[in-house]
C-alpha cells in the first residue's frame, strides 16, 4: 500500500496549441468531472472522464499545483494521466485584470435580468473567470 502513495504518475495537459504542462513524479491528480470530483493515483484502473470548467490539482512531493482547465477529457491509463482540453492555463499565464473584468461583466449581465441576456453563456463566462482567479490565487 505504501508504494501507491509514493510512486509517481506522469501527467500531461494538452490543448490545441500543444502541451502546456508535463510532469513526472505526481502522486495524485484531482479533477472535477460532469458528475463530481474525483482523484487518481498510481495503479488506478483505466478511466476516461469528461471534465468541467474547474481547476485540476496535481499533488507531488514538492507540493500542489493548480491548472485552470476549461472542459475536455481526462484519461488515466498505465500510470499516465492525459488531459485534453480546448483551453487550459497555468497560474503564471493568467491575466488577473482581464479575469476580474470578465467576472464583473458576467455578474452584471446575470444581475440585469434583461430578457435579451443569454443566461447560460453568462454563467459559463462567470465560471471561467472564477476558475482563472482561483488558480491565480486571487479568490
Q: Hey, what's the cell of 119?
A: 443566461
Break the chain into its structural domains and give their ranges.
Answer: 2-91, 95-135
The structure's pTM equals 0.86
Give CA–CA dist 13/65, Å, rounded. Answer: 13
Please, is 132 exposed, middle or buried when counting C-beta atoms within 10 Å of its C-beta (0-12, 13-18, 19+)? Answer: buried
Bridge partners, 82 (sequence order): 12, 75
Indicate whether 7 pLDDT > 80. no
Q: In terms of CATH, what superfamily is 2-91?
A: F0F1 ATP synthase delta/epsilon subunit, N-terminal (2.60.15.10)
Residue the block writes with cell 470548467: 53
Residue-level pLDDT at 4 = 47
Note the pLDDT tens digit of each residue in 15-48.
Answer: 999 999 999 999 999 999 999 999 999 999 999 9
Q: What is the DSSP string of 109-139?
A: HHHH--TTS-HHHHHHHHHHHHHHHHHTT--
| C-alpha to C-alpha distance for 84 and 74, rounded to whole angstroms | 6
Say if domain 95-135 classifies as CATH 1.20.5.440. yes
> Crossing angle, helix 96-112 and helix 119-135, to 10 degrees?
150
Amino acid at each position: 500500500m505504501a508504494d501507491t502513495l509514493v510512486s509517481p504518475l506522469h501527467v500531461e495537459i494538452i490543448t490545441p496549441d500543444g502541451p502546456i504542462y508535463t510532469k513526472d513524479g505526481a502522486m495524485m491528480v484531482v479533477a472535477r468531472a460532469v458528475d463530481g470530483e474525483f482523484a487518481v493515483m498510481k495503479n488506478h484502473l483505466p478511466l476516461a472522464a469528461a471534465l468541467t470548467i474547474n481547476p485540476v490539482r496535481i499533488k507531488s512531493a514538492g507540493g500542489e499545483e493548480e491548472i485552470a482547465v476549461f472542459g475536455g477529457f481526462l484519461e488515466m491509463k498505465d500510470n499516465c494521466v492525459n488531459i485534453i482540453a480546448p483551453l487550459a492555463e497555468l497560474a503564471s499565464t493568467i491575466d488577473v485584470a482581464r479575469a476580474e473584468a470578465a467576472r464583473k461583466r458576467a455578474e452584471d449581465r446575470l444581475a440585469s435580468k434583461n430578457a435579451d441576456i443569454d443566461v447560460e453563456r453568462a454563467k459559463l463566462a462567470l465560471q471561467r473567470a472564477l476558475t482563472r482567479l482561483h488558480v491565480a490565487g486571487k479568490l
